[in-house]
Structures are given as C-alpha cells and as structure tokens.
Amino acid sequence: MSSLACIHLPAFSLQLLLRRRREWTDYPAAVVAEDKPQALILRVNEKARRAGILPGLRYTAAVALAHDLRAAGVSPAEIESGVTELLRRLSRFSPQIEPASEEPGVFWLGVAGLNLLYSSLQEWAEAVHADLRAQGFCVRLAVGWTRFGTYAAAKERRGITVFADPAAEHAAALEVSLEALDLERDFRGTLHKLGIETVGAFLTLPPGGLSERFGPEAYRVYQMAAGELWTVLQPRAIKDPIRQKVLLDDPETDVTRLLFLIRRELHPMLSVLAARSEALAELGLAFLVEKSGWRKERIRPAAPTLDDVQMLDLVRLRLESVQFSAGVVEIELTAGAVPATCEQLQFFAQTRTRDLDAANRALARLRAEFGAQAVVRAKLADGHLPEARFAWEPLQRVEAPRPQAGAPRTLVRRILAKPAPLASDPRSHDDGWLLLGPKFGSVDRLSGPYIFSGGWWTRAIHREYYFAETRRGALLWIYYDRPRRRWFLQGWTE
C-alpha cells in the first residue's frame, strides 16, 4: 500500500464563488481582489480566458473584453470555511488530513492501512473523487509515496493518478512543468529565460548558487523535488462544532425573553469550550421566524473569550437593533472556537497605562449594535488619483503601536474625502492669494505643478497639483482642475 495521497482543487477561490453563485456557471466569471471597478482580477474560468481575460487585468478592462463578465470577491473567512468543510468530508476517507497552509485547495492524506476497507487504492481514489465531484468541485487526485511527487502530479494531471511504485512517481515528477507549480512569478520567469521548463531541468541547477541567487524558498523547493527534504504528515484535528437548539412552544417577539433563552444555552457551550482549552471567537445566532424563514446573525467579541457576561451584552445590543417581521419559533447557537491564548490563562495580568482590551471591547459593542462595517480603518491601495490611494477595511482589533527606533519623522498629509472648491482665484487679489481667508494669510510660494492626467476610458481628468505655503505657516495641498477650470483644496500637511 502507498502511504500518501494529494488532492488538488484548481482555482479553489473561483470554485467556491461558482458554488455560491451557481447561476454564473454559463458566463465568463472571475474572482476580484475587492469590490471596486479598478480591482485586480485574481482567478478566471475557461469562458473568461477564451474571451482574453487573464489574472492581473483590472475589472474595467476585463468588462471591455466580455460585457457579460460576472465577478465578485472571496473573503479569507469564506476560504477557511471551505477548507473546514472539505476536511470534514475527507475525514470519512482518511483519518489523517493535512491542508496546505500556503495554498488553499491542496490536501495531503495518509492512506496507509486502507486496504482493509478498499480492495485497491484505485477504488479508494475513485470513491473520494466521486464524492467531491458530487459536491460540485473540480478535483485532481494523485496517490503515491512522497509529498512532492503526489503534489506535482495532482497539479498537472487531470482526474485520478495512482503510481505503481516510487520509481514511476519520481519519473513522472521530473516531467512536470514548472508552470503547474505554485512558484513565484519572477522566479519562474527567470527560469524560463534560462530554458528551464520542467522539474527535471530545475534539478540540474547547482543548489548552492540557487540558494544564493533566489533565496531560501527556492532552495527549499529544490530540496523537496530532489527528495532531500522530508516532512512528516501533520494532520489537522477535526472537532465537531458546538451547537445548541431551542424550540419554542409559541412564537416569541420579546427581546428580553429571547435573551434569557440564549443565556440558558450559552453557559453550557462555554463550559464545553473550557474543557477543550478553547475560547469563543464567534457566536452564530440563527432565528427561525414564523412564515419568513431563517435569519442569521454573527457576534464577534473583541478577543476570544469565555466570559458569558460579555457575550450576553453583545447579544443584547444586536437583538435591540434587529426587527423581526413575526415571532421566533426556533433558535440555534453555533460556537466558533480557537485555542485559548496564554493571556487568558494568566492569573495575574500586567497593568498598562492604555487598556487595549477595553478599547477592543468597546469596538465589539459598536460592531454588535451597528454591524461589522461600522468600525473600519484606512489601508493603502493602488489608485491613479490621491483619493483612490486608500480604502476602508473592517478593523478587528486595536494593536499597540510599534515605532521604529531612530525612524525619521514624516509629515502627515490630511486628505479630504471630497475635494473642497476654492472660490478665489490667484489673479483676483492684489495683496496676495487668500486661499482660505485672512486667517491663514496669503500664499507666499507655490511648489509645482505635479500633473495627474488620465481617465479617458470614463471621464477625462487633468489635475495640476501644487503645495501652497502661506505667510502664517500653513502648507496646503491644492490643484487646478483644467477641464472644470477651477481650483480645489485636496488637503493639508502638518
């Protein structure tokens, strides 16, 4: 019997998207990085590829190639949920399953000893393949002896591959194209320029020079392909989710009584988590509303906790903001757990001048009452215009600042969400240009212009940016919009 199998679900995020939106199967479809017109395309299906749409294009450019393109994002939480679902399904075929941490959609399974349940490995592989295909997944499966050999075969070969002996697996791995492996793009491009297209050709390179030129990650791939790096299978433990159900005799609309029922079921759930050395990271609430179906809510504390008082406070805030169209006849609670942290197990806690835990609890209360999008932070983004250079993302936790020792101080630029028009013109004042009135003084010097132009595909943009220094020390960031023939205030620098 062979000892290892590898399962690969190509374009895993795209498969999850098409399972969620099955009506998109007959259209060109793509996974985008974010829900914006200029978002990067990450994955595409075959219909989109035939239309000329490739990963790396912007969504607006892709729509020009295929007007019926369907696109949406797939969050990391959805990917992790998909991995967990597959772990539970695969646990029926093998007790040892290790998902790839850096490449979702790849799983290694231990198959030693399964000859007592299946007449052959081919029969076992066909059973696994049929089960996943029935769930709507496109699957590639390879059974062999080594981690890299089965991975390489599953990445390139379609359907099921069962190797008869280690020599056959090694020979097949040498013929695998480097395009099929999950290698860094620049590294793969450099190898292509050298005429190295397969794993066998890659192994002809000197390992010392490979490590020095391309870094430790390239050298690690070399060691795995050469059979010099062997790692034992590290299966992930699969634990049944903790759920509680409440069936009500009569439809209930009163928030206080619903909260009391939830409290009665929450305490035993936290006791089970504590026995597992886990903490509650997320509480799922599902309400079966009479004649309306299920309504689902998710409550996330500031940090994984076992404090029922804190969780009930968050549940109360969420229920007070929810309007039920009719009475609730059934309640289901689901606990999302993570391992308990060292801080939760400490008997004495160090006092801090700033209580970050209290700040995170306050943010959790805001999310519970107003939703997850109520607490956000700015992050840098790729954009042509200054106002498109940042986006808002949900803030999960407040972290302590980590200043760099000796780092130079930088100016902080305050950017207006919407540029403010300036009524005055520099040529209309003999005593100087009063940008913001006498309070800031007249403009002493203009630095610029720094020209931003583009947008021809939607609306032409031509901006001439300047830094305006006033007599009273203000440094303003302004621009002249040439198509609109008007000055605007973009922000200021402190």
| Tens of pLDDT, residues 51-68 | 999 988 999 899 989 989
* Token pair recorded at residue 66: 């295929």
- Rg of the chain, C-alpha, whole Å: 29
Distance of CA 294 to the CA centre of its chain: 27
What is the per-residue pLDDT across 357-374, written as a single tens digit (0 to 9) for each? 888 888 888 888 888 788
CA distance 253 to 250: 10
Rounded mean pLDDT, 96-121: 88
Rounded mean pLDDT, 29-37: 88
CB 148 within 8 A of CB 163: no
pLDDT of the residue at 347: 46
CA dihedral sign, ordered 431, 436, 438, 444: negative
What is the per-residue pLDDT across 301-316, written as a single tens digit (0 to 9) for each? 888 888 888 899 999 9
Give the number of other Cβ atoms within 10 Å of residue 303's Cβ: 19
* pLDDT over threshold 60, residue 286: yes
* pLDDT over threshold 80, residue 287: yes
What is the per-residue pLDDT across 248-276, written as a single tens digit (0 to 9) for each? 988 988 888 899 999 999 989 988 888 88
What is the per-residue pLDDT across 427-458, written as a single tens digit (0 to 9) for each? 555 567 777 777 777 888 888 888 888 766 66
Q: Locate tokens 């919009």: which residue?
A: 481
CA distance 85 to 230: 28
Distance of CA 347 to the CA centre of its chain: 35
The secondary structure element, H or E, covering residue 28 is none
Q: Which of 147, 46, 131, 45 is nearest to 90 (CA)?
A: 131
Rounded mean pLDDT, 122-131: 93
pLDDT of the residue at 374: 83
CA distance 310 to 299: 11
Q: Which of 317, 293, 442, 329 is nearest to 369 (CA)?
A: 317
Q: Which of 228, 236, 170 is nearest to 199 (CA)?
A: 170
* pLDDT over threshold 60, residue 90: yes
In order of start, what are the domains of the chain with their CATH numbers?
4-9+78-226 (3.30.70.270), 242-370 (3.30.1490.100), 413-493 (no CATH)
DSSP 177: B
CA distance 317 to 321: 7
pLDDT range class, residue 1, cuts 50, 70, 90: very low
pTM: 0.60
CB 220 within 8 A of CB 312: no
CB 184 within 8 A of CB 196: no
Q: Which of 225, 224, 232 is nearest to 112 (CA)?
A: 232
